[in-house]
Amino acid sequence: MPQRLPRNPFASSTTTTTVAIPSDRPTTRRPSTSKGNRLTQFFTSSPKSKEQQSAHEALLAAVAAQQQHLLNNPSPHISAPSLSLPTISLSTAKAGEANMDEPPTTLFQPPSVAEAKRQARIDAQFGPLGNQSHRYVSKHVGGELADPVIDEPPYYYLLTTYISYLVLIVFGHVRDFFGKRFRPEHYKHLKSANGYAALNSDFDNFYVRRLKLRIEDCFARPTTGVPGRYITLMDRKTDDFNKHFQFTGTYTETLNMSSYNYLGFAQSEGPCADAVEETIKKYGISSASPRADAGTSDLALEVEDKVAKFVGKPASMVFSMGFATNATSFPALVGKGDLIISDELNHASIRIGARLSGAMITSFRHNDMGALEKKLRENISQGQPRTHRPWKKILVVVEGLYSMEGTMCDLPGILKLKKKYKFNLFVDEAHSIGALGPRGRGVCDYFGVDSAEVDILMGTLTKSFGANGGYVAAEKHIIDKLRATNAATLYGESPTPPVLMQILSALKIITGELVPGQGEERLQRIAFNSRYLRLGLKRLGYIVYGHDDSPIIPIVLYNPAKMPAFSHEMLRRKISVVIVGYPATPLISSRARFCVSAAHNKDDMDRLLAACDEIGNVLQLKFSTGVAGGAENLPDGVTPGMEEEWKKANGLQGVIQPPRWSLREVIANGVQDVKQPLR
């Protein structure tokens, strides 16, 4: 009989404490309690176990558990089983005397099925923090921002990449040649007919038709539910090589490495969602008017005030779409006679906004301060083309964090130039707001720069805040002027009340006004996860782009066929990743991109690393040479400062070994090494 009962009464959620006694009662037949697990000793009332563990000790342990619980409090849930069940056995607290008649009074009630389900749901949106050591403060270490080292694979991979594209293109043309003759109906939209020109150009469509279609199933995978720590994909299949998809009616829950959910605010439970629900009840779903008409609510003003305070500017304005924020802000700021100098990798919305403004546009090499200075000197000295009149003003536009490269802008470098060349600076913090800096306030916070030095801070509210829309923050007179001249304020819909409330409550959590401690935890978790994953991937042998603290982690795949292969292999391991190829990246460097979130925990990162380890072997993706990091740790007693000397002494000068760590080593060393400068 007793053997059939679970050894740990708390292992099963349905077992109640009263039933649990017999499992520990038959001590007469059991040789000793040492066999039972440590946990049960906490709860037992049997005299035998008391011999080993005094009531005092039990209390101490319970108090320690409670303290640990308090420490962990900002996290919605504590994972370690020994901590999650802080039960105090009151009967043991009674000194010495065994009281067999009374059932043990415990504070703990095991969760019901519904409760456990709910908890699982919450955990699927925001993972529990495994250990308090899995935190890190995202902050620039000082000194100049070094450009990340771009590693290159053996030429074999570059060559095969070009050959692959060549084969794809030749094959595509062959298929087109026969297709156009034997199946003209498939090319209808590319041919002029009945006096109408073709809707799409044959040439432009070639890439989509012959290259992208092959990997169409890796894009736009439909999802359902919350895009939190996990994301639920709707399974689909195709009978005609990705032209059409049929839903199979099944769902797959995958680890979400694809959403821009940096701080994990994509949640349908918790303080944000509760606040949003209240807002819907009170305000309804829409303001039904542009901001300049009757769409300005008290809520919108409050959010603007909060956003301004958050980014450290006197005033701000919010919009219902991040893309439109850029597309309408440039025309309101600059025009004819002005010059926009834009980083070559700036987002499409910036390019469109800049084009709409009518100002002259020129670009400089990504993050290259030398190139920017050269451009500035040339343009200021030459003035406007043909007339040589001086520019009315020059606006330099950079992004805080680049979404395809994972690099940060060299803000200190730009500000140094700004002092000398007197240009205006516009920083698009679409990806960096919330994701960078010890207080999550973007690149200025990360570099410890006063945000007053940047003229315009723009950002989206879609990513870190789990809401939608964008903001522009600047001096008050600039914002006042923008209110009158920005088209999205005059004609575009205003952000809806639930979205505003999501922004507001997320901001309050980050700043600590709401659920103190949780915001800090989120910020430190994303910083830890980012570094941990980046270091792990480098050690496994991947070529990883970007700066160390960036939560966007692209790994380079090169060969086009590896894009779908990587995506499929990841999906098989229930991980959803984004793959990006030409034209979003240079032809050669197609990549997979991981977006790290505060909703992930170390277990998730380990799971991803394990998957990457396996896939990297199968697909031959571990081609780093070691110049970009992932090196072996220095032996004990050798500090990074002594590294050069030590290398010299051991004849290792200039020797760079390609990092190929085993998964076990990566995981074993990860947590402590992340806290040092990554090597």
Partner 1 sequence: MSFFSAPSMDKMEFSDAQRFVERSMHEITNRFQKVPGSAMLIRYIQSSYQDDPVRSAIELILVIFFVRYLLAPSYATHNNNFVTLTEEEIDDLVDEWTPEPLVAPQTAFEEADNEKLPVIVGPTGPKSKLSNGRTVTNLASYNFYNFVGNEQVKEKAIQTLRTYGVGPCGPPQFYGTQDVHMKTEADIASCLGTEGCIVYAQAFSTISSVIPAFCKRGDIIVADRAVNFAIRKGLQICRSTIRYYEHNNMEDLERVLQKVVKEQSKKPLTRRFIVTEGLSETVGDCVDLPKLVELKLRYKFRLMLDETWSFGVLGRTGRGLTEAQNVDASQVDMLVGSLAGPLCAGGGFCAGSTDVVEHQRISAASYTFSAALPAMLATTASETLNMLQTTPEILVQCRENIKTMRAQLDPRSDWVHCTSSPENPVMLLVLKSDVVNSRRLTTQEQERVMQECVDELTKQKTLANGVLITRLKSMPVAPGSNGKDDQWKLQPALKVCITTGLSKKEIEKAGVTIRHAITKVLTRKTSSKLALPAVS
Q: How far is the CB of 565 from partner 1 (least distance, A)?
A: 18
Q: How far is the CB of 345 from partner 1 (least distance, A)?
A: 13
Looking at the Cβ atoms of 359 and 678, the one nearer to partner 1 is 359
What's the CA gap between 636 and 478, in Å, rounded? Answer: 56
Looking at the Cβ atoms of 73 and 286, the one nearer to partner 1 is 286
The residues, ordered by sequence, that sit 6+ positions from 599 with a Cβ below 8 Å of its Cβ are 125, 126, 127, 228, 229, 256, 261, 264, 266
Q: How far is the CB of 233 from partner 1 (least distance, A)?
A: 8
Q: How far is the CB of 588 from partner 1 (least distance, A)?
A: 17
What's the CA gap between 49 and 632, in Å, rounded? Answer: 48
Looking at the Cβ atoms of 50 and 375, the one nearer to partner 1 is 375
What's the CA gap between 612 and 538, in Å, rounded? Answer: 11
Burial class (CB in 10 A: 0-12, 13-18, 19+), 246: exposed
Looking at the Cβ atoms of 497 and 659, the one nearer to partner 1 is 497
Q: Three-state secondary structure along 184-200? A: HHHHHHHCCECCECCCC
Q: How far is the CB of 150 from partner 1 (least distance, A)?
A: 21
The residues, ordered by sequence, that sit 6+ positions from 138 with a Cβ below 8 Å of its Cβ are 435, 436, 437, 438, 446, 523, 524, 526, 527, 530, 549
Q: How far is the CB of 9 from partner 1 (least distance, A)?
A: 34
Q: Which residues of 631-648 are buried (b: 16+ CB within 10 A; e: fewer)?
A: beeeeeeeeeeeeeebee
Please name the amino acid found at residue 328: T
Q: How far is the CB of 612 from partner 1 (least distance, A)?
A: 19
- Residue 6 phi/psi, 5-degree rounding, is -65, 145
How far from the centroid of its chain's Cα atoms is residue 306's Cα? 23
Looking at the Cβ atoms of 293 and 665, the one nearer to partner 1 is 293
Helix (H, G, I), strand (E, B) or coil at 550: coil
What's the CA gap between 21 and 8, in Å, rounded? Answer: 11
User: In 321-475, which ranges are continuous DSSP H helix?
Assistant: 322-333, 348-357, 369-382, 411-421, 443-447
Q: How far is the CB of 191 from partner 1 (least distance, A)?
A: 11
Q: How far is the CB of 212 from partner 1 (least distance, A)?
A: 7
Please name the amino acid found at residue 106: T
Strand partners, 253: 232
What's the CA gap between 73 and 58, in Å, rounded? Answer: 22
Looking at the Cβ atoms of 176 and 269, the one nearer to partner 1 is 269
What are 163's two structure tokens?
């050959």
Looking at the Cβ atoms of 338 and 613, the one nearer to partner 1 is 338
Instruction: Work out whether the CA dihedral 41, 45, 46, 50 comes out positive or negative.
Output: positive
Looking at the Cβ atoms of 186 and 675, the one nearer to partner 1 is 186
Please name the amino acid found at residue 380: I
Stated length of the chain: 679
Q: How far is the CB of 309 from partner 1 (least distance, A)?
A: 19
Looking at the Cβ atoms of 6 and 156, the one nearer to partner 1 is 156
Q: How far is the CB of 265 from partner 1 (least distance, A)?
A: 8
Q: How far is the CB of 300 from partner 1 (least distance, A)?
A: 8
- Residue 424 phi/psi, 5-degree rounding, is -95, 145
Q: How far is the CB of 252 from partner 1 (least distance, A)?
A: 12
Looking at the Cβ atoms of 139 and 481, the one nearer to partner 1 is 481
What's the CA gap between 558 and 543, in Å, rounded? Answer: 10
Q: Among 556, 583, 557, which Cα is nearest to 212's?
A: 583
Looking at the Cβ atoms of 8 and 261, the one nearer to partner 1 is 261
What's the CA gap between 164 and 171, in Å, rounded? Answer: 10
Looking at the Cβ atoms of 320 and 524, the one nearer to partner 1 is 320
Q: How far is the CB of 466 from partner 1 (least distance, A)?
A: 5
Looking at the Cβ atoms of 60 and 280, the one nearer to partner 1 is 280
Looking at the Cβ atoms of 224 and 672, the one nearer to partner 1 is 224
What's the CA gap between 436 and 449, in Å, rounded? Answer: 13
What is the biggest distance separating any 2 CA atoms in the chain, rounded to whole angstroms? 102
Cβ distance 193 to 150 under 8 Å? no
DSSP 8-class letter at 333: H
Helix (H, G, I), strand (E, B) or coil at 473: strand
Looking at the Cβ atoms of 147 and 293, the one nearer to partner 1 is 293
Q: How far is the CB of 199 from partner 1 (least distance, A)?
A: 6
Cβ distance 611 to 570 under 8 Å? yes
The residues, ordered by sequence, that sit 6+ positions from 3 with a Cβ below 8 Å of its Cβ are none
What's the CA gap between 19 and 444, in Å, rounded? Answer: 58
